Structure formats: structure tokens, C-alpha cells
């Protein structure tokens, strides 16, 4: 019963709308109104969810930090405390104080 | 495992990450490093910061790194007798790194807060390094700058350059023009005062210094006026100078390195009463060298003076002062006195620190033109194990006992050297004073380090060159680390300054073995030198030495006693 009604309704609709046409102007107006605007699209994007694998997230953060830190470690300035040995009014600079930590009885 | 996150939350996180790591942490880092008192550590941390590819405030870090490396440039002062420097040591490497930082600011950070100060500090470093060409190049560059402060700084240093080249009128024209244009810079007025001093217009100089009081510095205030050129002070000094020195006699001369003049060197004088000190504090330079290294002092009273110079510490690196065998300068009319420097001669072998496993080593050095003879010197320290405390440098003989060596090589036998008196220090006062172990054990004994220096002399005894420059690196020296044997028990007592115990120990040995050469050697030395005030006994020393001679037949055992007798006479 149900199937027959559907088919009947459909044939009536087709028959009645056979000679109904939509103007191009109306069509474009309807399409223009129904298209989402830029802000709507951005908002949709911002509110959309993405899934990021945890290892990837950690990896990206780690790489970002490392890319900045690794070149920074290339330090020329000598951190070692500098010692000056006085010899006859001349000064001898010992950059690595451990070099002259000597014998202890 | 995945994180589900809204895109907008992710973007917020990225921005927060960039803010925290790009601005907040760097700002806190720079603040923290600024609180570190150790300039060297601070400079290293600033360099760490500067090296980061993505970072803000890089110009600030560059400026602070340069300032930490070279906060100011102290001078190395050389008088006819005394010499030395005060303040923190600035090496040439420090100065070169600071130059690099300032140049980066000038090239890349035109809008930096530190742009003008970087320019001025760069000029100061080049003045300190005696690099007149670079100073002139920077002045020319600054003159065309669109920044007014840079143009003014360029004029200021042009005036300073004119003053150094004794073009006082040109220098004063620039100074007056700047003052006329309303530039209120304390440094400008100080320069004006110094120009008047060099023109011997002492009243006008006094007036200029009076005007300084209510003026401020346009650039960052600094300990020095230009490079390592000292500030002058006040009218008190001018009056003191006029009273003590002002006259009609001048000293002219040059300051050179291998014949090439060094500009911007300060010339000082000392009166006879200040003889032996090297600090020019509370004194003023009486000339500055020009681009050819030449100088001409202001007029001085006739008399005897000790003349001196001040060069910046980085400039003193690897320079040997060709010391003249003169200690006072008689000034009458126009007198000439030159200061000559050269690059240090080289010890060809052995180089650096080396462990001496034997009792001899062969020393070879560079030939110096015009040298009549060479001397090998050893350095003895108050604490020889870590080379600290005061030091004495003295000539040591070669294996044949010769001090003046005509050739460019020598065999040094440390056992032979130890027969001769070495450097004697006393610690403590009066009755309690006690001799250093090296005074008894000799120049070389196990466990210590002994720097070796070679000097070249002309026929008149003037130093032509030396392997020890004014400032050098430890790695560049020849150091003997004595490792040829272990200390004996008696030697250990001496090394620990337990002299009474050492005497008992050796006397006990002699009771058992009256021909023990070690006991006789050290007892002879202990009594010859005396380990404490009043303990010396030449008779006892001679008795032990003669017993030793009768056993060994080596007359070197008598050298020390003869030396001590000679000294006492």
C-alpha cells in the first residue's frame, strides 16, 4: 500500500511541475543566499576538530625547541674561570685553571 | 594515542608557545644574565642567546655580550722601572669578539636603542687597540649617518683624533662648534679641558673642567674618556701638576712595535719619589701618541723623571718591551726617549708544558739579530705547585755552569742548576719568618712546575727580546713539570716546611751513614741559607759541604756556600 501511494504521489508531482521553470536570476539569487560566507567558513574551520597523534605533537614541539637551541650551544666564549699568573710584571693567562692545579702532598 | 582538539585551540596554543619562548623567556633570560656578576659567564650566556636562530631582543643581547667582554679597557703601564696593570684582564680575543658584536648591531639593528652606544664603544675599542685606520674609517662612516647622535659622535672622535695628532686648533674648532650648537655633553667639555692642557693653557683648562660639573654624558658614562685614555679629573690636578712639573723642557719620542708607530698611547711621568711604582693613578698623561706613534710632552721643569706609557691590555698581548738599561731620565732642553716593542722570540723546543722524566733537557730557541748573548731564566713561585703567590725570575746556568750563552741552544741539567742558589722567599714576619722549600731544595724538585724564559741581550746588557711578553697565554709558555723521581722522605719534610724535623732526620741518617750525600747536601744548604731567622751557620754549612766534597770530588757542592758568603759580604 505504502509503495503504491509513493509512486502515485510522485507521478502527480511530476505531471504538475512539468511545465514549471525557474528563471536563471532566481536560481542564482537562491544559490547566492544559500552559500556560506567567508567568516562563516573560517568560524566553521576554527570550531572544527582535528586529531593529532600525541607522538607527532611532542615531536614537533621538541624539534621546534631543538632547532633554536642546538645552534645556540655553539659558544666561543670560554666559561672557565680565568686565572692570571704574574711573572716579572708580565701576565700569563690560564684559561683552564685545572691545568695548573698541581701536586698535593 | 591522539589528541582531539579544536583548530582554534591549537592556534591559541601555537601563539602562546611563540610568545612564551620568543618573548617572555628571552626577556627573563636577559634579565637573569644581567644579574650575574661574573662578566665571563654572563658573556657566555649572552652568546648562547645570540646564537638562537629565532629570538627577539637580539641587539640587546649582542650589546650586553660585548659590554661583558669589554666593560672598559684598562691600561698596561710601563715605567722605566716598574710595570704592570690593574683591573680585570681583557684579552685580545675578548676585544675581537666585542668588535664583532658591535659591528652586527651597526649592520643589522639600525633602530636599536643601543645603536649609538655600539658605535661609540666600537670606536673606543679601536682607540684602545691603537688602530688609527679603523677609527678613521668609522669616523668617516658616522659622518654620513642619518642619525644625529652618530654624526655628533663622529665629530667628537674627529676632534679627539686631531688632539692626538697635536692639531689642537682643529680639535678646538670642532669642540667649540658642537658647544655653540647646544650640545651639552660632559665628554665634550672634558676633551676641551685636555686640549687646553696640551696647549699649556692651564687657566682655560681649569675653567673647562669647572664647566663639567653640571653636564651629563650623551653616551653611556664610562671609566675612561676615549678607549683606554684616562679621564681628567679636576682643577686640583692641574694646580698640582703646575706646581710639580710645569716648565719649558719637553720629552719627544716614539712608541713603536717593530718600527711601526702605535697611536693613542698615553705618556706619563713620575718624580723620583714615585720611583719603582707603575700605577699612574692620580697622575695625568702629559702626551698622547699620534698616528705615527710620535709624542711630544707638555713643558716640564728641568730634572730627573721616570717616564712611562699606558697601552690598553689587549694591545699589550704578545708584545715584548725592549727594556733599556736606564732607570731615570734626565730632562734638560728637548730630550728624546723611545719605547720599543717587538713580538716575542720563540722557544723552538720544548714547547708548552712538558713532563721532565730525566734530569736534563735540551732547550732551543730562535736567533735574534744583534743579540750578543742569551740567558735562560727560571721562575720560582711562593707556591710552586699551583704557580700562585709572588714570583721571582732569575737566570739559571747551563750544564757547564754558564749563564751567558752565545748560542741558540743549551743543555740544562736540573741537578747542576740546583747546586746554585735559587729564589729565596720568606713567609711570616721578623722572628717567625721562614724560608720557602725551593730556597733549600733548589730550582727544580719533583712535583713542581717551573716556567722557562729565554732573553736576548745586546752588548750593553739591554734586552733585545724575550720569550715572555707583557701578556700571554699559559699554553704558549715552556713549562717544566718535574717528574724525574719521587721526593725522598727528607725532601718531603723540607717541601712541607718542617725544617727542624728535616735536620733531625738527616742528622740521624749521618749517625748511621756518615757518607750519605743527600743528608750532607741538604744539611749544608739548610745551614747556608738558614731556614728561620738566626739559624744560618756558614761554618756548619761549610763543614757539611767539605765532607760532601771529600766524598764526591765535585766542587759544585761549594757553589752555594760561596754564593751565600759573597752575598753576606
Read off the pLDDT of residues B446-493 as tens digits, 9 standing for 90 and up.
Answer: 989 999 999 999 998 888 999 999 888 888 899 999 998 899 999 999
**Beta-strand relationship, B373-383 and B388-396:** antiparallel
Please report the pLDDT score of residue B250 as a whole number. Answer: 94
- Full-model pTM: 0.79
Which residue does chain B place closest to A60, by CA atoms? B14
Look at A68 and B386 and tell me if their CB atoms are within 8 Å. Answer: no
Look at A71 and B52 and tell me if their CB atoms are within 8 Å. Answer: yes
Judged by average pLDDT, the poorest of B370-379, B410-419, B421-430 is B421-430
Residue B285: band (very low, low, confident or very high) from pLDDT cuts 50, 70, 90: confident
What is the Cα–Cα distance from B40 to B51, expressed in whole angstroms? Answer: 17
**Percent of chain B topping pLDDT 90:** 49
Please report the pLDDT score of residue A103 as a whole number. Answer: 37
Look at A54 and B54 and tell me if their CB atoms are within 8 Å. Answer: no
Give domain status of residue A101, yes or no: no
What is the Cα–Cα distance from B102 to B414, expressed in whole angstroms? Answer: 51
What is the Cα–Cα distance from B278 to A62, expressed in whole angstroms? Answer: 57
Total domains present in chain A: 1
Range list of β-strands (E), B52-101: 75-79, 83-85
Residue A105: band (very low, low, confident or very high) from pLDDT cuts 50, 70, 90: very low
What is the edge-to-edge ordering of all strands in the sheet holding A90-94?
Answer: A83-87, A90-94, B471-473
Give domain status of residue A77, yes or no: no
Please report the pLDDT score of residue B132 as a whole number. Answer: 93
What is the Cα–Cα distance from B5 to B12, expressed in whole angstroms? Answer: 11
Give domain status of residue A42, yes or no: yes
Task: Please tell me what DSSP assigns to residue B220.
Answer: P
State in words which class domain B489-568 has: mainly alpha
Cβ under 8 Å to A: B residues 76-95:
82-85, 89, 91
Contacts of residue A50 in chain B, CB cutoff 8 Å? 4-7, 10
What is the Cα–Cα distance from B206 to B197, expressed in whole angstroms? Answer: 9
Cis amide bond preceding B96, omega within 30: no
Cα Rg of chain A, angstroms: 41
Please report the pLDDT score of residue B410 as a whole number. Answer: 95
Q: Does A39 touch chain B (CB under 8 A)?
A: no
- Residue B421: CB atoms within 10 A of its CB come to 21
Q: Does A17 touch chain B (CB under 8 A)?
A: no
Would the pLDDT of B262 be above 60?
A: yes
- Which grid coordinates belong to B321? 718591551
CB-CB: which of B1, B52, B477 is closest to A69? B52
Matching residue, cell 510522485: A10
Closest residue by Cα to residue B390 from A88, A47, A49: A88
Contacts of residue A92 in chain B, CB cutoff 8 Å? 451, 471-474, 477
**Beta-strand relationship, B449-457 and B373-383:** antiparallel
- Helix (H), strand (E) at residue B235: helix B235-244
Contacts of residue B444 in chain A, CB cutoff 8 Å? none
Give domain status of residue A23, yes or no: yes
Contacts of residue A59 in chain B, CB cutoff 8 Å? none
Would the pLDDT of B141 be above 90?
A: yes
- Which grid coordinates belong to B191? 676633551
Matching residue, cell 685636555: B194
| Average pLDDT for chain B | 88
Look at B8 and A47 and tell me if their CB atoms are within 8 Å. Answer: yes
Residue B233: band (very low, low, confident or very high) from pLDDT cuts 50, 70, 90: low
Backbone dihedral angles phi then psi of residue B90, each to the nearest 5 degrees: -110, 120
- Helix (H), strand (E) at residue B283: none
Task: Please tell me what DSSP assigns to residue B361.
Answer: E
- Residue B565: CB atoms within 10 A of its CB come to 14
- Which grid coordinates belong to B525? 744548604
Region of B260 please: left (phi>0), alpha (psi -120 to 50) or beta: beta
Please report the pLDDT score of residue A102 as a whole number. Answer: 45
Q: What is the mean pLDDT of residues A24-36?
A: 78
**Percent of chain B topping pLDDT 70:** 96
pLDDT tens-digit series, residues B101-110: 999 999 999 9
Q: Does B236 touch chain A (CB under 8 A)?
A: no
Would the pLDDT of B366 be above 70?
A: yes
Residue A85: band (very low, low, confident or very high) from pLDDT cuts 50, 70, 90: confident
Q: Architecture of B245-342 per CATH? A: Sandwich (2.60)
- Residue B3: CB atoms within 10 A of its CB come to 13
Would the pLDDT of B312 be above 60?
A: yes
Would the pLDDT of B538 be above 80?
A: yes
- Residue B374: CB atoms within 10 A of its CB come to 27
Give domain status of residue A60, yes or no: yes
Longest dimension (CA), chain B: 101
Inter-residue contact B536 to B530 (CB < 8 Å): yes
What is the Cα–Cα distance from B60 to B54, expressed in whole angstroms? Answer: 14
Contacts of residue B5 in chain A, CB cutoff 8 Å? 49-52
Q: Does A77 touch chain B (CB under 8 A)?
A: yes
Interface test with B, best of A83, A90, A91 (most B CBs within 10 A): A90
| Average pLDDT for chain A | 78
Task: Please tell me what DSSP assigns to residue B146.
Answer: S
Look at A100 and B449 and tell me if their CB atoms are within 8 Å. Answer: yes
Give domain status of residue A7, yes or no: yes
Domain boundaries, chain B: 1-69, 245-342, 347-482, 489-568
The CATH number fitting domain B347-482, selected from 2.60.40, 1.10.405, 3.30.70, 3.40.228: 2.60.40
Residue A13: band (very low, low, confident or very high) from pLDDT cuts 50, 70, 90: confident
- Residue B373: CB atoms within 10 A of its CB come to 16
Please report the pLDDT score of residue B88 as a whole number. Answer: 75
| Chains A & B: contacts with CB separation below 8 Å | 150
Please report the pLDDT score of residue A1 as a whole number. Answer: 54
Contacts of residue A82 in chain B, CB cutoff 8 Å? 40, 89
B459 Cβ partners below 8 Å, 6+ apart? B372
Between B115-128 and B148-164, two packed helices, what is the crossing angle to 10 degrees?
A: 20
| Residues comprising chain B, all counted | 569
**Beta-strand relationship, B478-482 and B353-356:** parallel
Closest residue by Cα to residue B338 from B259, B280, B282: B259
Kindly tell me the burial class for residue B106, based on how many C-beta atoms sit within 10 Å of its own C-beta (0-12, 13-18, 19 or more).
buried
- Which grid coordinates belong to A24? 536563471
CA angle B383, B386, B392 (to 5 degrees): 45
Please report the pLDDT score of residue B124 as a whole number. Answer: 94
B103 Cβ partners below 8 Å, 6+ apart? B122
Please report the pLDDT score of residue A7 as a whole number. Answer: 84
Closest residue by Cα to residue B376 from B390, B360, B363: B363
Q: How far out from the chain centre does Cα A26 lie?
A: 42
Inter-residue contact B524 to B557 (CB < 8 Å): yes
pLDDT tens-digit series, residues A39-79: 888 888 888 998 888 888 889 888 888 887 888 787 777 76
Q: What is the mean pLDDT of residues B228-246?
A: 78
pLDDT tens-digit series, residues B168-202: 999 999 999 999 998 888 889 889 999 999 999 98
Contacts of residue A67 in chain B, CB cutoff 8 Å? 53-54
Q: Does B560 touch chain A (CB under 8 A)?
A: no
ipTM score of complex: 0.78
Domain that holds residue A52: 2-72
- Which grid coordinates belong to B427? 713567609
Distance from CA of A63 to the nearest CA of B (A): 13
Look at B52 and A54 and tell me if their CB atoms are within 8 Å. Answer: no
User: In sequence order, what are the beta bridge partners of B478?
Assistant: B452
Backbone dihedral angles phi then psi of residue B65, each to the nearest 5 degrees: -65, -45
Q: Does B69 touch chain A (CB under 8 A)?
A: yes
* Sign of torsion over alpha carbons B193, B196, B198, B200: negative
Closest residue by Cα to residue B421 from B528, B531, B546: B528
Distance from CA of A105 to the nearest CA of B (A): 8
**Same fold flag, B245-342 and B489-568:** no
Task: Please tell me what DSSP assigns to residue B372.
Answer: -
The number of C-alpha atoms within 13 Å of B213 and in the hemisphere containing its C-beta is: 6
Between B39-51 and B92-108, two packed helices, what is the crossing angle to 10 degrees?
A: 40
pLDDT tens-digit series, residues B480-513: 999 988 999 999 999 999 999 999 999 999 999 9
Distance from CA of B156 to the nearest CA of A (A): 32
Please report the pLDDT score of residue A104 as a whole number. Answer: 37
Q: What is the mean pLDDT of residues B269-292?
A: 76
Q: Does A48 touch chain B (CB under 8 A)?
A: yes
Amino acid at each position: 500500500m505504502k509503495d503504491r501511494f509513493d509512486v502515485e504521489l510522485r507521478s502527480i508531482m511530476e505531471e504538475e511541475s512539468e511545465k514549471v521553470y525557474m528563471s536563471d536570476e532566481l536560481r542564482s539569487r537562491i544559490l547566492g543566499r544559500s552559500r556560506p560566507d567567508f567568516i562563516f567558513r573560517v568560524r566553521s574551520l576554527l570550531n572544527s576538530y582535528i586529531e593529532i597523534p600525541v607522538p607527532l605533537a611532542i615531536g614537533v614541539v621538541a624539534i621546534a625547541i631543538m632547532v633554536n637551541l642546538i645552534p645556540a650551544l655553539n659558544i666561543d666564549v670560554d666559561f672557565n674561570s680565568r686565572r692570571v699568573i704574574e711573572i716579572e710584571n708580565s701576565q700569563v693567562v690560564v684559561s683552564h685553571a685545572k691545568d695548573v692545579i698541581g701536586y698535593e702532598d | 594515542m591522539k589528541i582531539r582538539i579544536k583548530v582554534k585551540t591549537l592556534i591559541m596554543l601555537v601563539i602562546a608557545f611563540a610568545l612564551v619562548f620568543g618573548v617572555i623567556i628571552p626577556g627573563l633570560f636577559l634579565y637573569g644574565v644581567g644579574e650575574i656578576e661574573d662578566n665571563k659567564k654572563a658573556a657566555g650566556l649572552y652568546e648562547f642567546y645570540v646564537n638562537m636562530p629565532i629570538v627577539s631582543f637580539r641587539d640587546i643581547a649582542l650589546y650586553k655580550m660585548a659590554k661583558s667582554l669589554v666593560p672598559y679597557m684598562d691600561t698596561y703601564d710601563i715605567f722605566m722601572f716598574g710595570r704592570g696593570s690593574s683591573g680585570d684582564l681583557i684579552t685580545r680575543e675578548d676585544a675581537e669578539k666585542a668588535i664583532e658584536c658591535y659591528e652586527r648591531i651597526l649592520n643589522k639593528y639600525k633602530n636599536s636603542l643601543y645603536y649609538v652606544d655600539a658605535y661609540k664603544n666600537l670606536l673606543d675599542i679601536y682607540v684602545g687597540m691603537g688602530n688609527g685606520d679603523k677609527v678613521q674609517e668609522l669616523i668617516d662612516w658616522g659622518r654620513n649617518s642619518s642619525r644625529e647622535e652618530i654624526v655628533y659622535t663622529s665629530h667628537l672622535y674627529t676632534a679627539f683624533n686631531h688632539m692626538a695628532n697635536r692639531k689642537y686648533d682643529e680639535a678646538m674648532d670642532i669642540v667649540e662648534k658642537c658647544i655653540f650648537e647646544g650640545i651639552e655633553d660632559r665628554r665634550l667639555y672634558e676633551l676641551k679641558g685636555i686640549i687646553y692642557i696640551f696647549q699649556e693653557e692651564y687657566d682655560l683648562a681649569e675653567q673647562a673642567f669647572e664647566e663639567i660639573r653640571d653636564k651629563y654624558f650623551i653616551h653611556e658614562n664610562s671609566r675612561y674618556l676615549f678607549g683606554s685614555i684616562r679621564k681628567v679629573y679636576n682643577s686640583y690636578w692641574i694646580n698640582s701638576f703646575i706646581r710639580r712639573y710645569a716648565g719649558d723642557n719637553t720629552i719627544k719620542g716614539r712608541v713603536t712595535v717593530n718600527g711601526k708607530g702605535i697611536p693613542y698611547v698615553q705618556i706619563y711621568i713620575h718624580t723620583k719619589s714615585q720611583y719603582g711604582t707603575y700605577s699612574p693613578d692620580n697622575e695625568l698623561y702629559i702626551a698622547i701618541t699620534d698616528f705615527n706613534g710620535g709624542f711630544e710632552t707638555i713643558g716640564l721643569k728641568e730634572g730627573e723623571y721616570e717616564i712611562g706609557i699606558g697601552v690598553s691590555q689587549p694591545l699589550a698581548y704578545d708584545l715584548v718591551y725592549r727594556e733599556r738599561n736606564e732607570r731615570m731620565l734626565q730632562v734638560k732642553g728637548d730630550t728624546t726617549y723611545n719605547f720599543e716593542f717587538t713580538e716575542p722570540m720563540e722557544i723552538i723546543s720544548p714547547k708548552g708544558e712538558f713532563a721532565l722524566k730525566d734530569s736534563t733537557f735540551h732547550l732551543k730557541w730562535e736567533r735574534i739579530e744583534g743579540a750578543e748573548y742569551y740567558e735562560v731564566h727560571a721562575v720560582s713561585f711562593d707556591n710552586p705547585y699551583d704557580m700562585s703567590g709572588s714570583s721571582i725570575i732569575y737566570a739559571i746556568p747551563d750544564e757547564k755552569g754558564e749563564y751567558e750563552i752565545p748560542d741558540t741552544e743549551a743543555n740544562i741539567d736540573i741537578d747542576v742548576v740546583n747546586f746554585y742558589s735559587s729564589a729565596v722567599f720568606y713567609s711570616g714576619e721578623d722572628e717567625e719568618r721562614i724560608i720557602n722549600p725551593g730556597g733549600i731544595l733548589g730550582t727544580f724538585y719533583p712535583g713542581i712546575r717551573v716556567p722557562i724564559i729565554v732573553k736576548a741581550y745586546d752588548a750593553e746588557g739591554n734586552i733585545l727580546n724575550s720569550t715572555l711578553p707583557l701578556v700571554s697565554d699559559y699554553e704558549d709558555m715552556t713549562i717544566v713539570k718535574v717528574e724525574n723521581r719521587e721526593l725522598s722522605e727528607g725532601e718531603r719534610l723540607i717541601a712541607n716546611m718542617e725544617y727542624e724535623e728535616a735536620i733531625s732526620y738527616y742528622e740521624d741518617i749521618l749517625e748511621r751513614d756518615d757518607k750519605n750525600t743527600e743528608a750532607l747536601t741538604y744539611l749544608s744548604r739548610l745551614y747556608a741559607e738558614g731556614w728561620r731567622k738566626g739559624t744560618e751557620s756558614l761554618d756548619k754549612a761549610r763543614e757539611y759541604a767539605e765532607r760532601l766534597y771529600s766524598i764526591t770530588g765535585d766542587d759544585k757542592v761549594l757553589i752555594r756556600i760561596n754564593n751565600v758568603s759573597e752575598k753576606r759580604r
